[in-house]
């Protein structure tokens, strides 16, 4: 089992920045670097949506069109952590942000939340106008 814990959420004005962190623990020894890591978000009354993902081989990155050029996903495998740097935040970015890990057991694309088999509890991001 892998446990994921997000941090770094909060209240910020439009145009501001936040950096989310996600720390993995549990069965991560020599395995975390092989997980695809993703960030998803869910706004009130809306379905959970893909935000960004970072692969292991080649470190390819994937972004939702709505956050491209504003958000950056990165990872530090030595710390079993993944990060989401969010710049130029907009009120529509307000949501609970979830970190997720894909160990490869489920099929699907990196934008599909069913592909990820480990999830954090979420951290609230609120952007005021």
Residue 94 near residue 126, CB atoms below 8 Å: yes
d(CA 117, CA 101): 6
Render pLDDT for 33-42 as a digit per residue (tens, 0 to 9): 889 999 999 9
Average pLDDT over the chain reads 93
Q: What is the per-residue pLDDT across 12-34, written as a single tens digit (0 to 9) for each?
A: 999 999 999 999 998 776 788 88
The predicted model gives 65-90 an average pLDDT of 95
103-112 pLDDT, tens per residue? 888 888 899 9
């Amino acid at each position: 089992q892998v446990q994921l814990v997000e941090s770094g959420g909060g209240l910020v004005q439009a145009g501001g920045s936040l950096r989310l962190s996600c720390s993995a623990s549990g069965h991560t020894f020599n395995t975390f670097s092989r997980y695809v890591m993703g960030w998803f978000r869910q706004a009130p009354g809306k379905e959970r949506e893909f935000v960004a993902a970072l692969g292991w081989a080649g470190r390819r990155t994937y972004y939702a069109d709505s956050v491209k050029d504003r958000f950056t996903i990165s990872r530090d495998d030595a710390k079993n952590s993944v990060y989401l740097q969010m710049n130029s935040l907009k009120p529509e970015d307000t949501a609970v942000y979830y970190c997720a890990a894909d160990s490869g057991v489920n099929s699907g694309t990196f934008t599909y939340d069913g592909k990820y088999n480990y999830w954090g509890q979420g951290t609230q991001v609120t952007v005021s106008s």
